[in-house]
Amino acid sequence: MKLTIVGGGGFRVPLVYGALLARAGRLGLEEVVLHDIDAARLERIGHVLDGLAAEHGVRLPFRTTTDLVDAVEGADYVFCAIRVGQLEGRVVDEDVPLGLGVLGQETTGPGGICFALRTIPVMVRLAETIARHAPEAWLINFTNPAGMVTEAVQQVIGDRVVGICDSPSGMCRRVAAALGRDPADLWFDYFGLNHLGWLKGVRDGAGNQLLDRLLDDDAALAGFEEGRLFGGEWLRSLGMIPNEYLYYFYYAADTVRAIRRGAHSRGAFLLEQQRAFYAGAGDDALASWRATRHDRERTYMAEARDAAGDEHDHEMDANGGYESEAMAVLEAIALNTRAVLILNTANRSALPFLDERAVVEVPCVVGRAGPVPMAMGGASAHTRALVETMKDVERTTIDAALLGSRELAIKALALHPLVPSVSTAREIFDGYRARLPALQETFTS
């Protein structure tokens, strides 16, 4: 088996490599190739991987390259986690809307739209390269905004692209812990789009519904992140537990105020932090990476917790993050395990109010044929309306990105529930275009 990691100089690649070290034998993994456009970042991450291999006493050989065709030629699986525009682009994604009093989070609101506008064309070109040089490969996509990117790429390689996110599974594990249950013994009725989903039910093996009991227990809700973020009163009003990213919809103004109180945006913090890591030379690369990761994880969604008055640091998931999700998908397809995983894939009939090709985030049975989404049934008027609106925004953004259309980009921004007017949408787009060379080159009108 050949596995290619596109974005191989990325900060989270050591997490994937560490997970691979424990699985290489049963997967029959023979070749790992790291690809990146930045050779210096590849070298720095390579030192971290060498440290991990020495620590585990097991070495999984890998090589690095800046040649994409060389990287993907004959690959069986391609993992992709790239950041087009790097963290400097994320800072712009956040700053421009905030200057107009609008939330600029990197995947939610205008920030996510701008991120997608410059990312989708690059991802489509990657998909075309895979289609030519590794037509049987599965693309396991971590690149954000994961839902939009997956839907754009499936136009090229169809159902052989799977979008992953660790947010839903992490929430399900936290909910199981609050119930005092093993998540493996429970079924989670989760539905929506990437970073826009809800847990509407939790059932045990006997079919007993457990969520209502949790929603009535304020002490139990206070014991995990989503319970503290949204509060028992709002959760009981919804009758569901939202994905943490829905905080930016339900408490948008509070979050903007919290960000403005801070000295730096999340993007600016990460940019400063990772510059220091990648500039390191002669130090213990693995120790430096771990220290940087600890600070990164501790401050995850800090602006939302600040707005909610939650003084807890974000807790790193003992079961892993997106690397565990990627490994679960890889094993399920390669070994035909038929595992149930929450993934971003074509809807088919999982959500009956969306068409079959719309990419949704729902539980899927995953085997050799890839993900088969489970039917999630009906949805409340509120969730259906928001999902339908955001799917329209996503598809308008995809069209804008592929056509280089300023008109469609502004339409996508204006249709987004967090953007208050068409005039504001125009100001946001023009602000992005003025500061991002990639948009200046693509959106010429």
Give a yes or no: residue 344 inside a domain. Answer: no
Condensed to tens digits (0 to 9), the pLDDT of residues 103-127 reads 988 899 999 999 999 999 999 999 9
Distance, first Cα to last Cα, the chain: 46
CA-based nearest residue to 344, from 355, 334, 330, 358 = 358
246 in a domain, yes or no? yes
Kindly state whether residues 29 and 148 are assigned to the same domain: yes
Q: Is residue 130, in this structure, part of any structural domain at all? A: yes
421 assigned to some structural domain: no
**Is residue 387 within 8 Å of residue 361, measured between CB atoms?**
no
Q: How confident is the model over 284-293, as pLDDT tens digits? A: 999 999 998 8
Task: Of 153, 122, 121, 120, give the one whose Cα is nearest residue 137.
Answer: 153
CATH number reported for the structural domain that contains residue 92 in this entry: 3.40.50.720
How many whole angstroms separate alpha carbon 399 and alpha carbon 444? 15
Same domain, 179 and 131: no
Question: Which residues are within 8 A (CB) of 186 and not within 5 positions of it... i.e. 6 or more apart?
Answer: 172, 176, 179, 202, 203, 204, 210
Tell me: pLDDT of 445 over 80: no
pLDDT higher for 316 or 282? 282
Which phi and psi (to 5°) does residue 67 adopt? Answer: -100, 110
Q: How confident is the model at residue 280 (pLDDT cuts 50, 70, 90)?
A: confident
CB 153 within 8 A of CB 123: yes
**pLDDT of 314 above 80:** no
Residue 77 maps to a domain: yes
Say which residue the tokens 């999340």 belong to.
266
Q: Is the pLDDT of residue 266 over 90?
A: no
**pLDDT for position 296:** 75
Residues 97 and 194 in one domain: no
What distance in Å separates the CA atoms of residue 17 and residue 10, rounded to the nearest whole number? Answer: 12
User: Do residues 11 and 97 share a domain?
Assistant: yes
User: In this predicted structure, which of 31-45, 163-177, 315-329 has the lowest mean pLDDT?
Assistant: 315-329
Whether 244 and 260 map to the same domain: the answer is no
User: Kind and range of the H or E element at 293?
Assistant: helix 285-298
- Mean pLDDT to the nearest integer, 152-164: 97
Residue 231 in any domain: the answer is: yes
Say whether both 154 and 30 belong to one domain. Answer: yes
The residue type found at 285 is A
> Is there a contact between 183 and 199 (Cβ–Cβ < 8 Å)?
no
Mean pLDDT of the chain: 92
Cα gap 116→382, rounded to integer Å: 25
What is residue 307's predicted lDDT score, i.e. its pLDDT? 65
Average pLDDT over residues 407-422: 97
User: Which parts of 7-105 are beta strand (E)?
Assistant: 31-35, 62-65, 77-80
Report which of 81, 164, 139 is spatially closest to residue 362, judged by C-alpha positions: 164
**Nearest residue to 417 via CA among 198, 112, 92, 115:** 112
pLDDT at 342 over 80: yes
Give the orientation angle of helix 381-403 with respect to helix 406-415, to 10 degrees: 160
Based on the domain organization, do 298 and 217 belong to the same domain? no
Determine the Cα–Cα distance for residues 49 and 37; give it in Å rounded to an integer.
18
With beta carbons less than 8 A apart as the criterion, state whether 64 and 298 touch: no
Q: Last residue of some domain: 163, 194, 214?
A: 163
Helix/strand/coil percentages in the chain, nearest 5: 55, 15, 30
Q: Do 259 and 204 belong together in one domain?
A: no
pLDDT at 316 over 60: no
The answer to whether position 235 is within a domain reads: yes
Q: Is 377 helix (H, G, I), strand (E, B) or coil?
A: coil
Rounded to whole angstroms, how far apart are CA atoms 224 and 312? Answer: 10
Share of residues in the chain with pLDDT > 90 (%): 78
Tens digits of residue pLDDT in 16-47: 999 999 887 788 888 999 999 999 999 999 99
Residue 315 pLDDT: 59
Boundary (domain end) residue, out of 163, 178, 194: 163
Backbone angles phi, psi at 419, to 5 degrees: -100, 120
Which of 250, 268, 288 represents a domain boundary (last residue)? 250
My answer on whether 75 and 186 are in the same domain is no
Q: Read off the pLDDT of each residue in 409-419 and give the average, rounded to a whole number.
A: 98
Instruction: Give the contacts of 42 (CB within 8 A, at least 6 positions apart).
Output: 8, 9, 34, 36, 64, 66
Cβ burial of 188 (10 Å; 0-12, 13-18, 19+) is: buried
Query: For position 174, what pLDDT does the model report?
Result: 97
Q: What total number of domains does the chain contain?
A: 3
Reading the block at residue 343, the tokens are: 């993934």
Residue 422 in any domain: the answer is no
- Determine the pLDDT at residue 276: 86
Domain residue limits at 234: 168-250
Per residue in 198-245, pLDDT (tens digit) is 999 999 999 999 999 999 999 999 999 999 999 999 999 999 999 999
Residues 115, 39 share a domain: yes
Beta bridge partners of 197: 192
Closest CA relative to residue 321, chosen from 9, 63, 15: 15
Same domain, 256 and 214: no
CA angle 358, 364, 370 (to 5 degrees): 85
Identify whether residues 118 and 183 lie together within a single domain. Answer: no
Q: What percentage of the chain carries pLDDT values higher than 70?
A: 93
Residue type, 382: H
pLDDT attached to residue 58 = 82
